[in-house]
Structure 1
Amino acid sequence: MSTEKGTISINTENIFPIIKKFLYSDNEIFLRELVSNAVDATQKIKKLSAMGKYDGELGDLKINVAVDKEAKTITISDKGLGMTADEVKKYINQIAFSGAKDFLDKYKDVDDKNPIIGQFGLGFYSAYMVAKEVEIHTKSYQDEPAVKWTCDGTTEYALEDIEKAERGTDIILHIAEDSEEFLEEAKIEQILTKYGKFLPVEIEFKENVINNPTPIWVKSPSDLKDEDYLAFYKELYPMSEDPLFWIHLNVDYPFNLTGVLYFPKIKQDFQLSREKIQLYSRQVFITDDVKDIVPEFLQLLHGVIDSPDIPLNVSRSYLQADGNVRKINSHITKKVADKLSELFKEDRKAFEEKWDSIGLFVKYGIISDEKFYDRAKDFILFKNTEGEYFTPEDYKTKVEALQKDKDENTVVLYTSHPEKQDSYIKAAKKREYDVIVLDDVLDSHFINTLEQKLEKVTFKRVDGDSLDKLIDKGLNEESVLSDKEKEKVEGLFKELAGNNVVEIKALSSDDAPVSIVLPEFMRRWTDMSRINGQSNMFGEMPTMYNLVVNGNSPVIAKMLKLRGEEKRQTYAKQLYDLALLSQGMLSGGNLTDFVNRTFEEMAE
């Protein structure tokens, strides 16, 4: 065959600049596309052999990637089915005529365990993002001469016969001057590892196979042991602790979805755990931004999902939402809820031990997904300050006899910081009230959601008011103070509290003489604003609180009996500072003055 000259069939002279600048979002994609093409060619020859359409020796089917820094070339070689001259004209010269699509159409009725990756027919031309010239040396599995195709990125090409001993294709990229960074072996290895770590055909680079062609998500769960899942987790996240448990996804109808999702051990700072789920399409890495596929609250999980039914644009870089994406999203939510329910029912004690980490996922799901609450309501857990766990229904039964208010609402007392709120917790326990621990970053949102779902249940922080007001049974204590004494007490503390509200209340004589409370609605608004990043929307606002003075406390009676206004002011100041100290609000010079004043009083 003599050298043939021709023109590539495209509709515009500007197709190559479009491919180079706009079609692909990142120029490193060229290697993913060319290696994926090589995988396709290899899968095709394996399929033809299995079908009896090719009776030759398959041989070693490794794909080889080589860099020649001196010649300024990158070569991707496969031993797949190769191409004839006519096929080169059809699949290379006619842009967007995908050989993969043509092959699939031809054999669409054959059961396919080795799916073909390509679908758009544009992947090959991503080579021109980094190359000034590309050569194809290819020999078909059919009894046809080998050919060489050459193109320098214009619409002109050359096609000629060559000698080539082995079946398969070599793609040789002559790297452009502005892309010589890709001649660094470390760069190529990094790209191959990123996109080809789990490609279904062995990829060889620098005489080493860099991929695992049979990751656990392509295997049957019945063939795997716990050790296999843990080893794969370490392969993905070598620096992470072992996960709590995992879910193996394996769906073939009404969409194809495989993968393994792991529940990591996490505590409070869940923002750091995002972007740990990797999305693959037929074992080709696509992205770790899975917000359209995985529900928001499950983006804290780790692992891999793989689906050929997730629609991609031609660059395979961005997801395009459609019905399948929504179905996959719902399916993943259901699988997670089913797994959690199964763990709860089979081994509640083990589930309770994992709750500190699991709870964050469950709470986030309940807040962000209306349907998830219906699936999760039976395994939501409250942990009290004694370390005991209860479902909401169990807990309501436990406390409703003592913790019902005058309106028949069950009041759930909670602490957001057991150490700082210890005195309030002990006061509650003195009355045989129970206190649960809600100290996660999401708990303010979680409480709001539960109050909408649980009938006649309200949540109040244990330091949010006096116990008589937190659980208002409609029984009012009589004040032992006269109106004149109340006025005097209010005057003493108003001077200290500034713009904050001072309340003189007739409480039990056992309650604290002075306490600082932040109304529940204000506390939640502050916490939620902080989580939502809105704390500085109107500038840094000072904390407003109520100063509650227990008029029935013997300590207040003692203060009123002191001789001299100055002594009463000093006494009131000491009580006020103690109230601030109990809430962690006394610091700096005020704390120093309080300590010195206390020493002076002790010395008297």
Structure 2
Amino acid sequence: MKKSFLLLSILAAISVVAAEAPGAQAAFEKPSESVAAPENFAFDSAPGQQAVLSGEKFEFQTEVSRLMNIVINSLYKTPEIFLRELISNGSDALDKVRFQALTDPSALDANPNLNVTIAVNKEKRTITITDSGIGMTKQDLQKNLGTIAKSGTSEFLETMAGDKADMDLIGKFGVGFYSVFLVADKVRVTSKNNNDDQYIWESTAVNDFTIAKDPAGNTLGRGTQIAIHLKEDQVQYLEDTRLQELITKYSEFINFPIYIRRTKTKLVDVETTAEKAEPKDDSDDSEEAKVEEAKEEDESKKEKVSVTYEEDDLMNTNKPIWIRDPKSVTAKEYDEFYPVLARDPTAKAMAYSHFKAEGDVEFKAIMYIPNEAPKDLFQRVDSKYANVKLYVKRVFITDDSTDFLPRWLGFLKVIVDAEDAPLNVSRETVQSSKSIKAINKHLVKKLFDLLKTLSKDEQKYNDFFSEFGPSLKLGALEDRSNVKKISRLLRYRSSHNDDFTSLENYVSRMKKGQRDIFYFAGATVKEIKQSPFVESLLARGYEVLYMNDPIDEILLSQLTNFENKNFQNVAKSNLNLGDEDTNADTEKELETKYAPLVDWMQATLLKDIEKVRVSNRLTTSPAALVANDHGMTANMERLMEGQARQNREAMMHKFMMSQKKIMEINPGHPLIIGLLERVNRDPKAFEQDAHFQEMIKVLYDITLVRSGYNLKETVKDFAGRVENMLRINLGVDPTAEATFDAPQAEPRDKEEVEEEISNREDLLKADDEKPGMISAEELNRMMKEFTDNTNPTADEVKPRVNVEDIVAQAEEELDAEGSTETKEAVHDEL
């Protein structure tokens, strides 16, 4: 009983520890013995004819023929899937023999190494995929590759015809193998099982297949070899780079080594037969000279020769660390795995979470937060993004679904491995929307857990928010079910200090009687600090949140409150500081006192503003323009105006520019006090005092700019108004014009114009010349310039070389050697 329980425990754990099993690791370190690719492929017959293999023929079941027709013509999105399916089948066969070896170690005697090897023969247009798995008997070949259970096939065909989408078809059919006919016109499967001889299955995916005992005998030892004869239009899969790309994409994390057999060359030393040397007189040779002569003789017997050989290169070196216990994975391993997942060798992650999810769908996953936000993060927010890679039993399925995570989490990099995901028959998409929602729910929950942990390190979390804060804000707008969780993760600069602060910390610092969370939105923090809208609040000791992200104001208009504290935009007209009741009498007195000035200003600015009123929010600025409760602040108007221009919506742009604001004046500012005194001197002289009207308009323009709005008129009009005020103050006539005696430019001579026209025609001719070509005239001119520049001047002339002197000197040397024939030959050469 104890032994049975122990065995069951081992079997249950094998899928979990497979990647760490010593046998598996050893298989990655040492490939199996080289298995030869079939020399005679038996694919010499013309397309559409029977295979050459002579053996027992079988007819495909009707359902299988229909199934293959669906597979080949409509099931898979891309032909490249065939390699993933065949490698996955090989991996399953390797798992089975390793599982069998737990109770019967002799199962591995024929070949203890477990791996998959891929070989290519470009001349024969073939690919051979060999695994050292459990192999198939003759009966298995007939059953697995020629028939499918009647009920299962019928269900499958009904599903394909009836648009049902809730069936888990994987594991019930051998449709993965039939994907080979996406790229092949002929296929041969050679297989050896420990319980049978080696057999061959061969078909052209027409109507029948042939099974025969392999006349070559047991060449595999154990396992299966699938030989594929490619269609003429599928030769791209004969290229090593293409095969390696597909293995990396789909099968990188298979538990077993995957090798590509490559033909290589290298230089080796080989011995050659040395010619017998002339006998020498040894009387004058020293012992040292004899040793040196022997060394030279040995070296002369060796030469470099190019040798061609085959070698298996390992393709899947990366390990699937997500299937391991998180406690057994080191931080270094997590850091090294992220560039693999991101497909960027320089990529780094700032945080990660390794977890197992249980429920409707069980899966293991690793979630990474990148060190930097992608540059196109918000440019591709409405398009597909491959941030979640779905694997099933370490086989890549898809990364093109946007449903696994909401789009505001498009910056995450996640790998999900589900053991029993309900996939469609082609394994390219998840069928069950319920399962997708379950994965989505788990991933979002783990993201919040990860950020909560990260926020304990204030500096790290601030770095995260600097990169991905806009993503969280987008989430608060879109993901209403998680808006409260997201709001606790938001961070803003504030008047409290220059660091980020959370909304939770802001609430904890609120003053006595403060009911609202005060904020102001602008282009930069520096601009916000200098705004007249924050003056009074800062003077009274209130904290103001500085929001310089374009999405902030839109977000808070939707968020409305945090912990029952409303958000109050200090640029809006309904600003409540909490002391309105205590200052009511004072404010009423000021309104009465400044009523004449308010009337004058409203009459002057009637076309530009909604109204003028005495302010309780200003301390150092003379005036400010505020939006009404339902109007747009300067920041919002700038954003909307830019959007209107970008979309060329003239009506929207016109509407934005026509919105009137409320002008608030500071009753304690000297400029406003001076204007009041001017009005009180003659309250009825409004229409006659043009200079005073001009001052009011200048004040409005200045206030417009200081409040963050754009000038309603042109800059020229604004500058002209200021200039006019300067003229009046200096006693200069407002109508006087500047004097300037401008010298007149002279027309060009007729000859100069004609020369320019002539030069233009030459340029046009040159433009018509072909690239890289020059005319004969241009070449002659260039050669002349080169000759002139390289010929030495009189001062630079060097002694000329006399050829006759060189010949005479050479002849004297030949005469000294006494060889007449050599002399004549060299003379002719000279």
TM-score (norm 2): 0.61
Q: Which residue of 1 aligns with 2:114?
A: 61
Task: Say yes or no: does 1:493 pair with 2:580.
Answer: no
DSSP-derived class of the 1:494 partner? coil
- Matches for 1:324-473 after TM superposition, within 5 Å: 324-344=435-455, 346-348=456-458, 350-357=460-467, 359-360=469-470, 362-369=472-479, 372-373=482-483, 381-385=491-495, 386-401=497-512, 404=514, 409-417=515-523, 418-424=525-531, 427=535, 428-440=537-549, 442-444=551-553, 446-448=555-557, 450-451=559-560, 454-455=563-564, 457-465=565-573, 468=575, 473=580
Q: Summarize the Cα distance change of 1:459–1:171 in structure 2 as closer, same or farther, 3 Å threshold.
A: same
User: How far has the Cα of 1:559 moved from its partner?
Assistant: 5.1
Higher relative contact order (CA 8 A, sep 6+): 1
1:294–1:568: structure 2 CA closer, same or farther, 3 Å change rule?
same
Q: Give the match for residue 662 of structure 2.
A: 548
After superposition, what is the alpha-carbon deviation per residue over 1:506-546, rounded to whole angstroms, capped at 9, x for unaligned? Answer: 11463644434445655498899999999959766122544
Say which of 54, 69, 72 aligns to 1:20. Answer: 72
Residue by residue, what CA displacement relative to the aligned partner does 1:557-595 show, whole Å, maximum 9, x if unpaired?
A: 545739964433443343333234335544798235545
Figure out how many residues of one structure are paired with residues of the other and give that number: 574
Mean Cα deviation higher: 18-27 or 529-538: 529-538
Amino acid aligned to 1:137: T
Instruction: Judge conservation of contact 2:561–2:567 (CA < 8 Å) in 1.
Output: no
Tell me what 1:122 maps to: 175
**Which stretch of structure 1 is more off in the superposition, 264-273 or 227-236?**
264-273
From the superposition, tell whether residues 92 and 399 of structure 1 become closer, same or farther in structure 2 (CA, over 3 Å): same
Instruction: Give the CA deviation at 1:74.
Output: 2.2
Q: Which residue of 2 aligns with 1:158?
A: 210
| Mapped contact 1:460–1:470 kept (Cα < 8 A) | no
In the alignment, structure 1 residue 507 sits paired with structure 2 residue 612: no
Q: In structure 2, what is the equivalent of residue 140 of structure 1?
A: 193
Deviations 1:396-442 (A, max 9, x none): 2312426x3xxxx3232233432333322651423322121334455
Aligned residue type for 2:671? V
SS in 1 for 2:135: coil
Q: How does 1:74-89 map onto structure 2 within 5 Å?
A: 74-89=127-142
Change (3 A) 1:97 1:360: farther
SS in 2 for 1:246: strand
> What is the CA deviation profile of residues 68-127 of structure 1, one whole-angstrom value per residue up to 9, with x for unaligned ones?
33222222221111111110111111247999xxxxxxxxxxxxxxxxx95542011111
**How far does residue 36 in structure 1 lie from its aligned partner after superposition?**
1.1
Identify, as 1 or 2, the structure richer in helix: 2
Residue ranges of structure 1 left out of the alignment (5+ in a row): 100-116
| Separation in structure 2 between the aligned mates of residue 431 and residue 574 of structure 1, nearest angstrom | 30
Tell me what 2:338 maps to: 233
For residue 714 of structure 2, what is the aligned residue in structure 1? 590
1:172 corresponding residue in structure 2: 227
Taking the aligned partners of 1:530 and 1:319, their CA distance within structure 2 comes to: 43
| 1:259 to partner: Cα distance | 1.8
- Is the contact made by 1:363 and 1:446 (CA closer than 8 Å) also made in structure 2? yes
351-360 or 37-46, larger mean C-alpha shift: 351-360
The aligned residue for residue 110 of structure 1 is none
Q: Kindly tell me: are residues 23 and 342 of structure 1, through their superposed partners in 2, closer, same or farther at Cα, counting changes over 3 Å?
A: same
Which residues in structure 2 correspond to 1:294-313 (within 5 Å)? 294-313=405-424
Evaluate the alpha carbon distance shift between residue 526 and residue 327 of structure 1 in structure 2; reply closer, same or farther with a 3 A threshold: farther
Q: Which has the larger radius of gyration?
A: 2
| 2:240 paired with 1:188 | no
Q: Distance in 2 between matches of 1:398 and 1:463?
A: 22
Contact conserved, 1:514 with 1:548, CA < 8 A, in 2?
A: no
Whether contact under 8 Å (1:515, 1:579) holds in the other structure is: yes
Moved more, 529-538 or 80-89: 529-538
Instruction: Tell me which residue corresponds to 2:147.
Output: 94
Gaps of 5+ in 2: 1-52, 153-169, 263-311, 680-684, 731-830
Letter in 1 for 2:369: F
Percentage of pairs with the same residue: 25
In the superposition, the TM-score normalised over structure 1's length comes to 0.82
Is the contact made by 1:202 and 1:213 (CA closer than 8 Å) also made in structure 2?
Answer: no
Partner residue of 1:479 out of 588, 591, 601 = 591
Q: Which position in structure 2 is the counterpart of 1:263?
A: 369
Equivalent position amino acid for 2:714 in 1: N
